[in-house]
Amino acid sequence: MSATTDTRVLTAPRYRLPAASSWTLTIAVVVALLALLPLGFVLWAAVATGWDTAVTLIFRGRVAELMVDTILLVLLTIPICTLLAVTLAWLTERTDLPGARLWSWLCVAPLAVPAFVHSYAWVGLWPGIHGLGAGVAISVVAYFPFLFLPVSAAFRLLDPALEDQAASLGLAPVAVFRRVVLPQLRLAVCGGMLLIGLHLLAEYGLFAMIRFDTFTTAIIDQFQSTYNGVAAYMLALVLVLCCLVLLGLEASLRGRRRYARLGPGVARRTKTVRLGRWRYPLLLLPLVTAAFSLGIPALTLGRWLVAGGTAIWRMDEIGLALGQTLVICLIGGFATTAAAVPIAWLSVRRVNRSSRFLEGCYYLASSMPGVVVALALVTVTVRALLPLYQTVATIVLAYVIMFLPRALVSLRASIAQVPVELEQAAASLGRSPGNALWSTTVRLAAPGAAAGVALSSLGIMNELTATQMLAPNGTRTLAMAFWALTSEIDYAGAAPYAVLMVLFSLPLTWLLHHQSKKIAGR
């Protein structure tokens, strides 16, 4: 064989994955445009307000106070959540901690307790609790599962051979964890941190109940007390800037590294770390975490149920609220996950400025508080699409806008674990790009899709402000009924609705836990 022939063989172009099909990109763009409706509404309000008025409303003392409170909340809560979640994931997945399977489930179960129910529980035990310290403490116990879940799943997917090779080169266990394990957890940690940050920016009920002011509580107070929509829109603009900062930090930390491996890796479990004399002292960490995240809500709800007796169980009202909640959760969960599939695939398989921009649009829209999303959709439907005003379609669109990141993070992490070579192989055998995508990546990422549905449904079950403004006449979800009763200081009457929200959220959290283990084949 000649040198020329050899060169041609060696330099022959290898098969490349076809460009994203037009329908995938089109759907992703359409969803992004719909998701940006609230932002467009706020920008339109800012333009209509005028430059001088906008500057006056943004650069004032009240905004500075809210900015300091919000920054402190984020800077304190996210690192604590990260340290707690990574430590618990390591203990339950890599060590001989007694009852590791049970503790793993108990670390996911707090997702079944709505954030405002956490506040309700803590206020029930300590009526004087309020301020930044209370906000950080309750936020940590309410939101750390968003980090624990993807990190624990990532631990199960790591190839133990990489750690063995690092150890054989003389690295100490701590160095192996820092230089080999942590870099592979980056995608899961960044996604979880972003979710927590967005929740902190958009949460209302948790902070309103403990009297801690953030941009979201201030926006809703403007609408409800003074009806000053212009001032609220300017606060929303500042909130969007905070979201942009979070998006930029997450993108820079995530990087462009590849997280999938080609082949099954080493066909054995990772070596279990023996804790020795630290085995039972370290058991205190999951025990204390479960006590604060699950024990306090259970204690408070139990006390109010006993105090209220049978009179608080108005089954006709409770049954109606329960049925409407379940229907809305199912419709919204499936719609949100389906809307996230195109951009999840693009963000992993086509990492470029366009996909990053579209992904950023999704996260940016979800940072808007529910009241702003609702007002934007109310304005659009009343002025241009009146038949859609206060219909199921409008409220489902609001849920898609607000909860896209939940489905997107789960889908993106699952797709990233599927080697692109599988799609290439399917396409090289003559399958169309869409068929190759469906038969490989979509099927293998199905556990992530199920997790996305569950996470989205959890958020919808606990959503309050947008549901109140957009739901069709006669709609009364569990969250709406709970908040109405707590606003009237009827804590006993609100307890059954809180209990039902927790009970019906538990199967969804179990599904999340089960699917995260199924991803790793365990």
List pLDDT tens digits, range 197-210: 988 988 888 998 99
Token reading at 519: 């991803």
Distance from the Cα of residue 258 to its chain's centroid? 22
Q: What is the CA radius of gyration of the chain?
A: 24
Which pLDDT score is estimated for 504? 85
Which pLDDT score is estimated for 155? 80
Token reading at 147: 């980090």
Q: Which residues are CB-contacts of 29 (< 8 A; sequence separation ≥ 6)?
A: 358
For domain 21-256+297-519, the CATH class is mainly alpha
Runs of H (alpha helix) within 309-350: 315-349
Per the listing, tokens 């790793």 go with 520
CA dist., res. 264 & res. 247, Å (int): 33
Task: Check if the beta carbon of residue 409 is closer than 8 Å to that of residue 190.
Answer: no
Exposure b/e, 206-241, CB count within 10 A at least 16 = b? bbbbbebbbbbbbbbbbbeeeeeeebbbbbbbbbbe
Which pLDDT score is estimated for 409? 75
pLDDT surpassing 60 at residue 12: no
Q: Per-residue confidence at 407, pLDDT binned at 50, 70, 90? A: confident
Which pLDDT score is estimated for 107? 92
How does pLDDT run across 311-361, given as a tens digit for each residue?
899 888 899 999 999 899 889 989 998 888 888 877 777 767 777 788 777
Token reading at 126: 């300590």
Provide the residue count of the chain. Answer: 522
Where is pLDDT greater, at 240 or 366?
A: 240
CA dist., res. 518 & res. 521, Å (int): 5
Distance from the Cα of residue 92 to its chain's centroid? 22
Biggest CA–CA distance in the chain, Å, is 93
pLDDT surpassing 80 at residue 169: no
Q: Per-residue confidence at 482, pLDDT binned at 50, 70, 90? A: very high
Which pLDDT score is estimated for 473? 82
CA dist., res. 66 & res. 75, Å (int): 14
Task: Check if the beta carbon of residue 510 is closer than 8 Å to that of residue 105.
Answer: yes
The domain ranges of the chain are 21-256+297-519
What secondary structure does DSSP assign to 278-297, as a single string?
Answer: GTTTTTHHHHHHHIIIIIHH
Please tell me the least confidently modeled range out of 167-181, 389-403, 493-507.
167-181
CA dist., res. 467 & res. 77, Å (int): 27
Q: If residue 358 lies in a helix (H) or strand (E), which one and from where to where?
A: helix 353-366
CA dist., res. 148 & res. 142, Å (int): 12
Which pLDDT score is estimated for 77? 96
Q: Give whole-number Cα distances, 86 to 94, 144, 149, 151, 300, in Å.
A: 11, 10, 10, 7, 29
Which pLDDT score is estimated for 1? 44
Please tell me the least confidently modeled range out of 47-61, 80-94, 421-435, 495-509.
421-435
Burial degree of 34 (CB within 10 A; 0-12, 13-18, 19+): middle
Where is pLDDT greater, at 446 or 506?
A: 506
Please tell me the least confidently modeled range out of 177-181, 287-291, 472-476.
177-181
Q: If residue 150 lies in a helix (H) or strand (E), which one and from where to where?
A: helix 145-157
Q: Which residues are CB-contacts of 511 (< 8 A; sequence separation ≥ 6)?
A: 450, 451, 454
CA dist., res. 331 & res. 492, Å (int): 31
Q: Per-residue confidence at 121, pLDDT binned at 50, 70, 90? A: very high
What secondary structure does DSSP assign to 396-408, as a single string?
Answer: HHHHHHHHHHHHH
Per the listing, tokens 């300590």 go with 126
Burial degree of 429 (CB within 10 A; 0-12, 13-18, 19+): exposed
DSSP 350: S
Q: Per-residue confidence at 103, pLDDT binned at 50, 70, 90? A: very high
Q: Per-residue confidence at 175, pLDDT binned at 50, 70, 90? A: low
Of the candidates 218, 224, 207, which has an alpha carbon nearest to the alpha carbon of residue 375?
A: 224
Burial degree of 510 (CB within 10 A; 0-12, 13-18, 19+): middle
Beta strand ranges found along 435-491 (DSSP E):
none
CA dist., res. 128 & res. 109, Å (int): 27
Please tell me the least confidently modeled range out of 19-33, 86-100, 315-329, 481-495.
19-33
Is 0.85 surpassed by the pTM of this model? no
Task: Check if the beta carbon of residue 489 is closer than 8 Å to that of residue 88.
Answer: no
pLDDT surpassing 90 at residue 73: yes
pLDDT, mean of residues 212-233: 78
Which residues share a beta bridge with 95? 273
Which residues share a beta bridge with 273? 95
pLDDT cut 90: percent of the chain above it: 21
Amino acid (one-letter) located at 98: P
Token reading at 61: 């003392």
Task: Check if the beta carbon of residue 414 is closer than 8 Å to that of residue 445.
Answer: yes
